[in-house]
């Protein structure tokens, strides 16, 4: 069963729409949770004035009855209160492209000197729809004890060394939710706040690092048989597709390149007393440098994805550019924007990563209804715990 979604809508159009296909029947659609994720995406210190205008909430248009999915595509709509795309006075043509944005490339691609249509679709406003899709998918994952959690690791080079694991993540979540930079380290969060304020005073912008953990995955989600089904590749593809993300790492990431193998690969242990109680079937690791993924598949450890977000492309001070009509030098045009959206990006990455885990989960366990999915899940864990299913083959010299 293929889980997927498609978004539509422009930043200042009437609204955003997302259609999620492949959800089994019977999954709870927790609108309160989905709307809370949308509200978190709007929050965080450094956001622009538009967040005070919008009140993102999903309107369910299809695929749900009595608060649960019915097996058909689910359709959500998120209204744009700041809808002014057809008002030429409020959304005038943009002829001076902003360095770092899609303006110039999109204008040339679509053979126009007006960057407006490109920037309206390229805007990170679209991630509200992707956040809603991920939050819906998390309703499926939670049926099987799989949870997603993300936070801000760094802003403007100010980084926390906080370590997240399966035992402490609820406490880390509480710390994150108490921080206006979404950082679970109060001291680092205060310094990040100050850095964002300094960037605003300097008419500049700030980027940073976000980190997502998906906990409770059993071994075996994803595949090594087809490169398109490798879960690390799918996660990298989804997270890299979030606006302004410039690099993605799994687990130790690029730091693995500087270490010998003995300091990279995670030793395997087994505890038979935990075989029947843990989703990792009694297997454990001394470390999680692999980020819970080996050979394109989950290995039972938490999945860890880290992403680097560049500073927002729209600067109050502008940057050198050109007028696309005259080709004369100009400062780039200003569009109302954020100073720092790294906290918001952490919410988006949390939800798109969860959606990719849910996609791999659906591919593994199939089923048209939640009842069937659960039966497949139980059968898989049953047989995995019985390994070896047959006596090992004899080796003949």
Range of the domain at 330: 4-385
Angle at 365 between CA 361 and CA 370, to 5 degrees: 95
**394 lies in a domain?**
no
**155 lies in a domain?**
yes
**390 lies in a domain?**
no
Residue 113: predicted pLDDT: 97
Angle at 300 between CA 263 and CA 141, to 5 degrees: 140
**396 lies in a domain?**
no
Can you list the positions of beta strands (E) in the chain?
4-8, 15-21, 58-62, 64-65, 68-69, 74-79, 147-155, 158-159, 208-215, 245-250, 268-270, 283-285, 293-294, 297-298, 303-309, 320-322, 329-331
Residue 85 scores a pLDDT above 90: no
**392 lies in a domain?**
no
Token pair 């956001």: residue: 47
Report how far residue 236's alpha carbon sits from residue 239's, in angstroms, rounded to the nearest whole number: 5
Residue 393 scores a pLDDT above 70: no
Cα 361 from chain centroid (whole Å):
17
Mean pLDDT, the chain, integer: 94
Report how far residue 93's alpha carbon sits from residue 152's, in angstroms, rounded to the nearest whole number: 35
pLDDT digits (tens, 9 = 90+) for 109-144: 999 999 998 999 999 999 999 999 999 999 999 999
CATH number for position 184: 3.60.150.10
**354 lies in a domain?**
yes
Angle at 369 between CA 366 and CA 372, to 5 degrees: 60
**393 lies in a domain?**
no
Share of the chain above pLDDT 70, in %: 96
CB count in 10 Å sphere of residue 369: 15
Residue 197: predicted pLDDT: 96
Residue 84: predicted pLDDT: 81
- Number of domains within the chain: 1
Find residue 59's DSSP bridge partners: 77
**395 lies in a domain?**
no
Report how far residue 120's alpha carbon sits from residue 113's, in angstroms, rounded to the nearest whole number: 14
Question: What is each CA distance from 73 to 23, 79, 363, 370, in whole angstroms?
Answer: 7, 20, 17, 15
CA dihedral 123, 125, 129, 132 (to 10 degrees): 140
pLDDT digits (tens, 9 = 90+) for 174-199: 999 999 999 999 999 999 999 999 99
pLDDT digits (tens, 9 = 90+) for 216-227: 999 999 999 999
pLDDT digits (tens, 9 = 90+) for 288-322: 999 999 999 999 999 999 999 999 988 888 899 99
Cis ω on the peptide bond leading into residue 129 (within 30° of 0)? Answer: no
């Amino acid at each position: 069963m293929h889980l997927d979604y498609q978004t539509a809508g422009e930043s200042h159009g009437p609204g955003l729409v997302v259609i999620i296909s492949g959800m089994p029947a019977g999954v709870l659609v927790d609108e309160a949770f989905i709307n809370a994720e949308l509200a978190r995406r709007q929050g965080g210190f450094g956001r622009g004035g538009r967040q005070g205008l919008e009140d993102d909430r999903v309107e369910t248009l299809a695929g749900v009855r009595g608060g649960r999915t019915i097996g058909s595509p689910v359709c959500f709509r998120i209204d744009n209160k700041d809808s002014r795309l057809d008002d030429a006075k409020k959304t005038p043509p943009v002829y001076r492209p902003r360095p770092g944005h899609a303006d110039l490339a999109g204008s040339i691609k679509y053979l126009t000197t007006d960057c407006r249509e490109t920037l309206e679709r390229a805007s990170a406003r679209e991630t509200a729809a992707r956040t809603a899709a991920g939050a819906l998918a998390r309703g499926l994952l939670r049926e099987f004890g799989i949870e997603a959690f993300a936070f801000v690791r760094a802003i403007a080079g100010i980084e926390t060394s906080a370590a997240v694991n399966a035992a402490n993540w609820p406490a880390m979540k509480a710390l994150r939710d108490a921080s206006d930079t979404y950082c679970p380290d109060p001291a680092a969060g205060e310094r990040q706040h100050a850095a964002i304020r300094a960037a605003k005073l300097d008419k500049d912008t700030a980027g940073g690092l976000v980190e997502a953990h998906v906990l409770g995955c059993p071994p075996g989600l994803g595949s090594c048989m087809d490169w398109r089904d490798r879960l690390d590749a799918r996660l990298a593809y989804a997270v890299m597709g979030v606006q302004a993300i410039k690099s993605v790492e799994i687990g130790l990431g690029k730091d693995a390149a500087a270490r010998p193998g003995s300091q990279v690969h995670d030793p395997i242990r087994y505890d038979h007393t935990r075989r029947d109680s843990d989703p990792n079937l009694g297997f454990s690791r001394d470390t999680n440098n692999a980020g819970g993924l080996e050979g394109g598949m989950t290995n039972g450890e938490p999945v860890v994805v880290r992403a680097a977000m560049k500073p927002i492309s729209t600067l109050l001070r502008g940057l050198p550019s050109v007028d696309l009509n005259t080709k004369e030098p100009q400062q780039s045009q200003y569009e109302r924007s954020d100073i720092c959206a790294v906290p918001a990006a952490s919410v988006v990455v949390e939800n798109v990563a969860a959606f990719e885990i849910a996609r791999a989960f659906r591919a593994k366990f199939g089923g048209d209804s939640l009842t069937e999915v659960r039966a497949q899940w139980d059968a898989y864990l049953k047989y995995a715990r019985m390994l070896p299913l047959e006596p090992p083959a004899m080796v003949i010299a």
